[in-house]
Structure 1
Amino acid sequence: MQTNMPDIADTAPALQTGKLDWVGMGEIELPFIFESKDLAPVTVNAKARAFVNLHKEDAKGIHMSRLFLALDLLSTEQQVNPQTIAQALDTFITSHEGLSDKAQIEFKFELPLRRKSLLSGKAGWKSYPITLTSTIENNVISYELTVDVTYSSTCPCSAALARQLIQNAFNEKFNQETLSQKDVHEWLGTTQGIVATPHSQRSIANVKVKLDSSCDEFDVVNLINTLEAELKTPVQAAVKREDEQEFARLNGQNLMFCEDAARKIKAVLENDNFSDYWLQINHYESLHAHDAVAIAVKGVSGGYKA
């Protein structure tokens, strides 16, 4: 007959006393069904982190299996939304009565979305890296949503230099000649006519927003759509020639330094009245060997720091 097995976390003395801010597990493999507004429930493969604090100074440790089992229930029998996350956080606390009074869950996953082409009517899949962090402290739950949006940025300085070269080439070609529209039109369609093009690069906007503690549903799709609409040049999924041409036009009409992109995103986040936000713009330069970076925060007391 099996005897009671020892629980060292409960019975063994701590080697050294002291409170700990967070104790738990990281890199937990956790597929689950994610729910968000305007999105059919979708199965994602996440990596999870699960923590409680340890405020009992002489406790040996926490019961990590209890955190794992609460997440497993979320994975196998529920869908991930604000309500089920709140239940899991509550389980973290109640299963560590006397040990912990704070808990946190972090999910990192890629959210696949169907995205339409610019003109051709085609569609394809794009995946958006998401981090969802939920914390309970003093019986108040807070949610933090981070998303990465990839886009193309064309350098305004490079565009101006390219235009100057085209003007110089035009002067050399048509110096003191009587011009006809046909000649100029044909010349503009040659590589000699467009003698230079501005440089552009793949860029990423990392955006983190604090959600209202009373939110009853996540709204990831709207945040992504808002950011892409403001940037104008998100990278595409399905692309035909007409889509590629429209993408080139959008790049030419939306020249931006990293500072421009940061200010555009900051303004749109202000308009959405998030209680707090943090953003980092990364332009992965095609001219330089280094990157161009801009960072901004809302600037509230006790909020995110740049």
Structure 2
Amino acid sequence: MSVRAPPDASFPAFRREPVLNTASITDRLPDVAGDQAQAARLLDWVGMGNIAIPLRIEDANGGTVTVPASADIGVNLIDPDARGIHMSRLYLHLQDAFSSQTLDRGTIARVLRDCIESQRGLADRVQLTLRYGQLLRRPALASAHSGWKTYPVEIDAVLSPDGLALTLALSVEYSSTCPASAALSRQLNAARFAGDFTPSTSGFDAVREWLESPRGLAATPHAQRSRADVRMRLADDVDVFPVLAIVDALEHALGTPVQTAVKREDEQAFASLNAENLMFCEDAARRVSAALSSDPRIARFEATVSHFESLHAHDAIARVSGP
């Protein structure tokens, strides 16, 4: 005969709790956001940052592709007595807004109008920031190879009673070789040549062999990876974000964009480009300015070029703006 052990007093017997009928209480869930604010005041921006969303964007071939992105969304709070906004409504509006429609002015305008309407008179201005990486395939300089490069892109959209304003920001990396260092290097190279050769020395082949030998390079100028960060207020008639066109214009203006696939012939071609495009940060800023100011799609721009110096422990930076 088996004997049932007495219940352990340290573990009370399990009791099944009655299942709550959530349907019966859904209509009376408290919403303290509707309470009156303790200190009445207008707020410039209330919302959320770094929301994960999918974006459907144009690719370099004229098609579309879905990319991961992050978003900041917020509104102004124009009712000083309202304690808060309806954040969940903004979040839900963003989740699928850009996954099925290609990102352009019209799509953004519709989403922002819906966001304003979701706040029921609490706001008349909404700001949306989208961040993603534009993946572009770039050809090598000399060989038949190519490779992918990611360009960070940010779109800032503001819808207010004054209308819709769109700002496009992106970054381009390039190499910058110092003109002063190049001049100093040439002087040392010339001095070594004068020491190794005399006016009476003759022979084309001898000079060529000397140039190709270690003696033919007494010094090299310093160069460094650099970056151009640009923000562009787009003209009101621009519907599609011209990311590829702006990247191409900036890389062409700077002359020495960082490369993807590199074989020896590509590296040699890149060295040649650097010799042809010696630049201080001031030179780079002027090149960027010339490229942006001539584009009718851009109403206004701000650009910062940063040369992450290999000579100094600090960076060389120049900024420029204009219509």
* Structure 2 equivalent of residue 253 of structure 1: 276
Matched, 1:267 2:272: no
Structure 2 residue aligned with 1:280, among 282, 304, 311?
A: 304
Alignment of 1:149-228 (within 5 A): 149-228=172-251
Structure 1 residue aligned with 2:102, among 42, 58, 79?
A: 79
8 Å contact kept, 2:56–2:100: no
User: SS of 2:310's equivalent?
Assistant: coil
Per-residue CA deviation, residues 79-121 of structure 1 (Å, 9 max, x unaligned), is 3222211111001111112100000110111111011111112
User: SS of 2:122's equivalent?
Assistant: coil
TM-score with structure 1 setting the length: 0.94
Structure 2 residue aligned with 1:146, among 161, 169, 173?
A: 169
Q: How far did 1:36 drift?
A: 6.3
Give the Cα separation in 2 of the matches to 1:275 and 1:36. 24
User: SS of 1:74's equivalent?
Assistant: coil
TM-score with structure 2 setting the length: 0.89
8 Å contact kept, 2:66–2:99: no
Matched, 1:21 2:44: yes
* Structure 2 equivalent of residue 291 of structure 1: 315
> Which amino acid in the other structure matches residue 103 of structure 2?
V
* Structure 1 equivalent of residue 138 of structure 2: 115
> Which range moved further: 154-163 or 237-246?
237-246
Alignment of 1:5-44 (within 5 A): 5-10=29-34, 12-35=35-58, 39-44=62-67
Give the Cα separation in 1 of the matches to 2:280 and 2:132. 29
Distance 1:39 1:151, change over 3 A: farther
Give the Cα separation in 2 of the matches to 1:68 and 1:36. 26
Q: How far did 1:76 drift?
A: 3.7
Give the Cα separation in 2 of the matches to 1:38 and 1:132. 21
Structure 2 residue aligned with 1:2, among 12, 16, 24?
A: 24
Give the Cα separation in 2 of the matches to 1:74 and 1:98. 22
Over aligned residue pairs, what C-alpha RMSD do you find? 1.4
Q: How far did 1:39 drift?
A: 4.0
Per-residue CA deviation, residues 114-142 of structure 1 (Å, 9 max, x unaligned), is 11111112111000011111110115111
> Which range moved further: 266-275 or 160-169?
266-275
Gapped regions of structure 2 (runs ≥ 5): 1-22
* Structure 2 equivalent of residue 50 of structure 1: 73
User: SS of 2:24's equivalent?
Assistant: coil
8 Å contact kept, 1:37–1:220: no
Gapped regions of structure 1 (runs ≥ 5): 301-306
Structure 2 residue aligned with 1:99, among 99, 122, 126?
A: 122
Give the Cα separation in 2 of the matches to 1:41 and 1:50. 24
Q: How far did 1:35 drift?
A: 2.9
Structure 2 residue aligned with 1:89, among 82, 88, 112?
A: 112
8 Å contact kept, 2:173–2:225: yes
Q: How far did 1:6 drift?
A: 1.8
8 Å contact kept, 2:172–2:257: yes
User: SS of 1:68's equivalent?
Assistant: helix
8 Å contact kept, 2:54–2:96: no
> Which amino acid in the other structure matches residue 2 of structure 1?
S
> Which range moved further: 34-43 or 274-283?
34-43
> Which amino acid in the other structure matches residue 263 of structure 1?
R
Q: How far did 1:201 drift?
A: 0.3
Give the Cα separation in 2 of the matches to 1:13 and 1:228. 54
Per-residue CA deviation, residues 131-173 of structure 1 (Å, 9 max, x unaligned), is 1111101151111000100000000000000000000000110
Q: Percent identity?
A: 44
> Which amino acid in the other structure matches residue 277 of structure 1?
F
Give the Cα separation in 2 of the matches to 1:242 and 1:21. 55
Q: How far did 1:242 drift?
A: 1.1
Q: How far did 1:75 drift?
A: 4.0
User: SS of 1:192's equivalent?
Assistant: helix
Give the Cα separation in 1 of the matches to 2:95 and 2:88. 10
Q: How far did 1:30 drift?
A: 1.5
**Whose RCO is larger (CA < 8 A, sep 6+)?**
1
Give the Cα separation in 2 of the matches to 1:260 and 1:146. 21
* Structure 2 equivalent of residue 303 of structure 1: none
Give the Cα separation in 1 of the matches to 2:302 and 2:228. 11
> Which amino acid in the other structure matches residue 289 of structure 1?
A
User: SS of 1:99's equivalent?
Assistant: coil
